[in-house]
Copies of this chain bind each other. A is one copy, B any other.
Amino acid sequence: MNGDTSKVMSIETAVSRFMSDGAHISIGGFTLNRNPMAAVYEIIRQGFKNLHLYAHSNGTGVDELIGAGCVDKLEIAYAGNGKTAATCIRFRKAVQEGTLKVEDYSNFMMSLRFLAGAMGVPFMPTLSGFGSEITTSWGFSKEMRQADPKIVDDKLVIMDNPFGRWGDASKVLLVPAINPDVTFIHVQKADTMGTCRIDGLIFADTEQAKASRQVVITCEELVDPEALRDYPERNQIPFLHVAAVCHVPYGGYPTAVYRHYDYDATYLRAYADAAKNDEKFKSFQDKHLYGVKSHQAFLDLVGQDRLTAIKADSRTGYAVNMKRG
């Protein structure tokens, strides 16, 4: 019973099966942590274009997708990548050059939009943002919104509190639900049915997964369902929401995966350096992205020394005293 393993497949198969040009997608993680990088690189290699991308503060993955020219439209709260790039470099370039349409929200608003999608309601209320130009400056015009049935007509709605002053609020700001076509999440442990156990911070991965029509999981460890039934309270994404499970060790590299490995500051800095210059960036991509056939080949190129240097310490879950400066 429930021994069905039909969801288990390679990331190459999952990307080609669930992705399409123009798809509305979302990726898990936060800046330089637990981004589904193997999935991101595979999407780029398979050449999907005109994507509509939803993110809160996903740095590394978002910038790679934009840098590769996969993304037309982006709804996001924050495009930075910690100390290596206060503003994501290819993102900045694309916005300044007008090749990327951006709709700005805050982190909480984006998280609430995924929550609304996960809960099956058209919006979530918040008290954030009154007076901010987030409410008045729309990256996607009303006309563009009305012309596209996959984009909600209003960026957000402000209304009077229908319960008077209840909850110490005179007004509420409503942010519309997101239901991506596909969401990619990288986790420490998943079982063959698709149930996931995440260590460390969840960010908004649970809501992103539950809001999505299809969810592709990549995992450091693929286990038998039996292995996750000991403490079901620890499983944040139940299999009901998952379409594909791909076993990809180091699938979050070069971002960090708590208790497994740290971010690779060296790689992220090299990326940031290259990203500042179009030609340098092209050769960087040619070497690290298009020059390899798979995530494993990319890891081979990076080399075992670097993977050893970022190996997580068993006490703290990160690489203690790793050179990061």
A72 within 8 A of B: no
A167 within 8 A of B: yes
With both beta carbons as reference points, the residue of chain B lying nearest to A174 in the complex is identified as B162
The 8 A CB mask of A148-162 against B (1 = contact, 0 = none) is: 000011100101011
The 8 A CB mask of A115-130 against B (1 = contact, 0 = none) is: 0110011111111000
Contact B163 A167 (CB under 8 A): no
Q: Which residue among A116, A126, A233 has the maximum number of chain B CB atoms within 10 Å of its CB?
A: A233
Q: For the complex formed by this chain, how many copies does it contain in all?
A: 2
Bound together, the chains give a CA A198 to CA B231 distance in angstroms of 11
Contact A167 B122, CB 8 Å, known A162-B157, A233-B199: yes
Contact A172 B122 (CB under 8 A): yes
A164 within 8 A of B: yes
Contact A123 B167, CB 8 Å, known A159-B162, A162-B174, A174-B162: yes
B residues less than 8 Å from A198 (CB atoms) = 233
B residues less than 8 Å from A172 (CB atoms) = 121-123
Contact A120 B167, CB 8 Å, known A198-B233, A234-B233: yes
CB distance from A81 to the nearest CB of B (A): 24
A55 within 8 A of B: no
A176 within 8 A of B: yes
Bound together, the chains give a CA A63 to CA B174 distance in angstroms of 38
Supply 23 A–B pairs (Cβ within 8 Å), ascending by A. A116-B167, A120-B127, A121-B125, A121-B127, A121-B167, A122-B161, A122-B163, A122-B166, A122-B169, A122-B172, A123-B166, A125-B125, A152-B163, A152-B164, A153-B164, A157-B162, A159-B162, A166-B176, A167-B177, A167-B179, A198-B233, A199-B231, A200-B233
Q: Supply 11 further A-B pairs (C-beta < 8 A) apart from A116-B167, A153-B164.
A: A117-B167, A122-B166, A122-B167, A122-B169, A124-B125, A157-B162, A157-B163, A166-B176, A167-B176, A200-B233, A233-B234
Which 3 pairs between the two chains have the least Cβ-Cβ distance? A122-B167, A157-B162, A122-B166
